[in-house]
Amino acid sequence: MKVRISPLQWLGFTIFIIFMAWSFVSDLLIQKPIPRAPVITSHNSSMTSLWVRTDYLMDSSDHTQMIALGNKLFIIGSASDKELPRLIALDVYTGNIIWQYGDANVNVLAISETILFVGQVGQVVALNPDNGTGVWSKSLPFSRSVTKLLVRDNMLYVDTVGGNHVILDAETGNILQEIAYTVDNAPNNDIPVWSDKNMNLEFVGNIMYFQKQTGYPDYKGEIIALDEFSRNQIWSSGPLSAATRIAASPLGVFVLGLDGKLLRFSPTDGAKDPIIQFEPAPILRHEDGWVYGYHVAVDSDNQLLFVYLGDSAQLFAFHIQ
Q: What is the per-residue DSSP string for 186-231? A: EE-TTS-GGG-TTEEEEEETTEEEEEEPP-STT--EEEEEEETTT-
Distance CA(54)–CA(40), nearest Å, equals 12
pLDDT in tens, 183-242: 988 888 888 877 776 678 888 989 999 987 655 555 677 899 999 889 899 999 978 888
Residue type, 289: G
pLDDT at 175: 94
All CATH 2.40.10.480 domain ranges of the chain, comma separated, are 198-306+314-321
pLDDT at 4: 60
In whole numbers, what is the pLDDT of the chain averaged over residues?
84
What's the CATH fold of domain 56-195? Lipocalin (2.40.128)
All CATH 2.40.128.630 domain ranges of the chain, comma separated, are 56-195
pLDDT at 23: 43
pLDDT in tens, 161-188: 888 899 999 999 999 999 998 898 888 8
The three-class DSSP label of residue 29 is helix
Residue type, 107: N
Smallest Cα–Cα separation from 204: which of 242, 254, 148? Answer: 254
Q: Give the residues of the chain that fall short of pLDDT 70.
A: 1-39, 197-198, 213-219, 283-291
Give domain 198-306+314-321's CATH architecture.
Answer: Beta Barrel (2.40)
pTM: 0.85
pLDDT at 112: 92
The three-class DSSP label of residue 109 is strand
Task: Please state the φ and ψ torsions of residue 251, each to the nearest 5 degrees.
Answer: -80, -20
